[in-house]
């Protein structure tokens, strides 16, 4: 890894260049080279097959040579660009499988450290969680049975409020542990191997674009349309920006406005773990931002494959109208508002039985059912909700969905 660790330094993250290398977003074998090599192999294969056929039937020697050459040339020519790209992709996928570290891994019991002794790039599991799992395992399989430890890969970690340590994992999970909590850790071999890979100029450009992408999104709580993000990252070409978006999405540092293939109109938002990765930078060890609303990433790895952003900025160049972008942003905000309203309706911390909230709850439920956050009654509903919660439900004040709704409607 390129990251350096100092004793007692509880700020740490997998550095941008290592994330780029580990995601294998940069092709190891150029497509042109792949096409040339594969085409030559196909030509030689068919030519050799026909020559063997001709030798076996020597009587038809002069009849077979011409067909052999024709078939060989025809076969090589039939290796169309799409088929050669498929082979290039297959080779790339091999490197991806070989290089990408797992989000989750089951293996033997490692060593014990404290939460503030964790390093990014390690595999980690709460000892308390494992002890509970071991007790349940022994009840089912006998006292001699020892279960494997289920580890998760640490993306970033940093201290909070003196006695707490925030830990963000590559699968999108975000946890806060007491700084002295016991954690079982093990080394991730594929992370340890990253230092063996070449840090090419292309890789460094993508790493730089990734860092700037995250920095820009930190200031944009509602996210940004892909095309406008590209306009903000003026120091980088479209290819580097698209690769940076792929890397960020792969590591659950950003999310899209919808579960769909990305386009230049897609709205990209920073996730909770993306914000954690930003806060864990050795160059950014500030007072933590209070009230920062960020999106939680799913615990499963994003199902959108590496390369999903490829070419979308070039395709969209000069073809994105301000109206389309505005519509995409508005639709994204509406989706977030509806989802947040549905979330707070399920919160037990809110005293919905309070007579002052009966009408407010009905208005919010109607908005969710109709998928319409524009009702004029919602402003009144959230004004009452804020009043009641500030009096008797302090625990809900830090909820991200609640904060978003209060900020929007009031």
Whether the per-residue pLDDT at 158 is higher than 70: the answer is yes
* Residue of higher predicted confidence among 41 and 149: 149
Whether the per-residue pLDDT at 60 is higher than 60: the answer is no
Average pLDDT on 58-82 reads 50
Whether the per-residue pLDDT at 213 is higher than 60: the answer is yes
pLDDT at 33: 56
Q: Which of 99-103, 253-257, 359-363 has the lowest mean pLDDT?
A: 99-103
Count of residues in the chain: 410
Q: Which of 106-110, 149-153, 238-242, 334-338 has the lowest mean pLDDT?
A: 334-338
pLDDT at 204: 92
Give the span between the Cα atoms of 107 and 149, in whole angstroms. Answer: 6
In the chain, domain spans: 12-21+102-194, 31-99, 199-330, 333-409
Supply 293's token pair: 């609303």
Would you call 369 exposed, middle or buried from its count of C-beta atoms within 10 A (0-12, 13-18, 19+)? Answer: exposed
Average pLDDT on 306-318 reads 52
Q: Which of 10-14, 22-26, 67-71 has the lowest mean pLDDT?
A: 67-71
In the sheet that holds 224-225, the strands lie side by side as 224-225, 267-270, 254-256
Average pLDDT value over all residues in the chain = 75
Q: Which of 118-122, 323-327, 337-341 has the lowest mean pLDDT?
A: 323-327
pLDDT digits (tens, 9 = 90+) for 236-288: 988 899 899 989 988 999 988 665 567 777 888 888 999 999 999 855 554 44
- CATH topology for 199-330? Arc Repressor Mutant, subunit A (1.10.10)
Whether the per-residue pLDDT at 125 is higher than 90: the answer is yes
pLDDT at 113: 94
Average pLDDT on 97-106 reads 75
CA distances from 237 to 18, 142, 202, 231, 311 (A): 20, 60, 11, 10, 11
Whether the per-residue pLDDT at 380 is higher than 60: the answer is yes
CA distances from 156 to 134, 182, 221, 287, 406 (A): 27, 17, 20, 17, 30
pLDDT at 239: 87
* Residue of higher predicted confidence among 70 and 205: 205
Average pLDDT on 344-369 reads 89
- Are the C-beta atoms of 14 and 156 separated by less than 8 Å? yes
pLDDT at 315: 44
Average pLDDT on 88-97 reads 56
* Residue of higher predicted confidence among 201 and 42: 201
**Confidence tier at 321 by pLDDT (50, 70, 90):** very low
**Confidence tier at 230 by pLDDT (50, 70, 90):** confident
Predicted TM-score of the model (pTM): 0.61
CA distances from 320 to 69, 129, 226, 236, 335 (A): 50, 49, 11, 19, 22
Average pLDDT on 198-224 reads 88
Pick from 209, 298, 301: which is nearest to 251 by CA? Answer: 301
Average pLDDT on 142-165 reads 88
Average pLDDT on 64-82 reads 51
pLDDT at 184: 95
Average pLDDT on 125-153 reads 90
pLDDT at 318: 41
Please, which residues have CB within 8 angstroms of residue 135's CB and are 6 or more apart in sequence? none
pLDDT at 5: 38
pLDDT at 109: 92
For the chain, helix, strand, coil in percent to 5 are: 55, 15, 35
């Amino acid at each position: 890894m390129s990251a350096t660790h100092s004793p007692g330094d509880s700020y740490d993250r997998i550095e941008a260049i290592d994330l780029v290398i580990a995601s294998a977003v940069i092709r190891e074998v150029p497509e042109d080279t792949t096409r040339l090599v594969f085409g030559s192999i196909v030509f030689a294969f068919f030519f050799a097959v026909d020559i063997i056929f001709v030798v076996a039937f020597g009587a038809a020697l002069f009849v077979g040579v011409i067909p052999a050459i024709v078939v060989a040339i025809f076969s090589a020519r039939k290796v169309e660009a799409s088929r050669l790209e498929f082979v290039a992709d297959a080779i790339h996928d091999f490197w991806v499988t070989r290089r990408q570290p797992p989000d989750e891994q089951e293996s033997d019991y490692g060593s014990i450290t404290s939460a503030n002794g964790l390093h990014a790039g390690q595999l980690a599991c709460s000892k308390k969680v494992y002890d509970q799992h071991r007790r349940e395992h022994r009840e089912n399989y006998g006292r001699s049975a020892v279960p494997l430890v289920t580890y998760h890969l640490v993306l970033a970690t940093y201290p909070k409020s003196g006695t707490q340590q925030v830990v963000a994992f590559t699968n999108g999970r975000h946890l806060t542990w007491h700084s002295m909590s016991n954690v079982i850790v093990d080394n991730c071999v594929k992370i340890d191997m990253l230092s063996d890979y070449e840090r090419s100029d292309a890789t460094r450009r993508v790493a730089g674009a990734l860092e700037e992408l995250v920095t820009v999104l930190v200031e944009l709580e509602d996210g940004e349309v892909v095309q406008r993000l590209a306009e903000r990252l003026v120091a980088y070409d479209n290819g580097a920006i698209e690769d940076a978006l792929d890397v960020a999405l792969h590591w659950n540092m950003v999310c899209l406005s919808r579960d769909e293939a990305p386009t230049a109109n897609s709205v990209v938002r920073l996730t909770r773990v993306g914000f954690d990765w930003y806060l864990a930078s050795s160059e950014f060890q500030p007072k933590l931002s209070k009230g920062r609303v960020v999106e939680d990433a799913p615990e499963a790895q994003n199902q959108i494959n590496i390369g999903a952003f490829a070419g979308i900025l070039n395709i969209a160049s000069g073809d994105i109208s301000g109206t389309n972008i505005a519509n995409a942003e508005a639709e994204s905000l509406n989706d977030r508002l509806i989802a947040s309203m549905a979330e707070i309706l399920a919160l037990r911390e809110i005293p919905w039985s309070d007579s002052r909230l009966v009408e407010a709850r009905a208005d919010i439920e109607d908005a969710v059912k109709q998928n319409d956050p524009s009702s004029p009654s919602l402003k009144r509903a959230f004004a009452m909700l804020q009043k009641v919660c500030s009096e008797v439900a302090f625990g809900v004040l830090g909820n991200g969905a609640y904060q978003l709704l209060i900020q929007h409607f009031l």
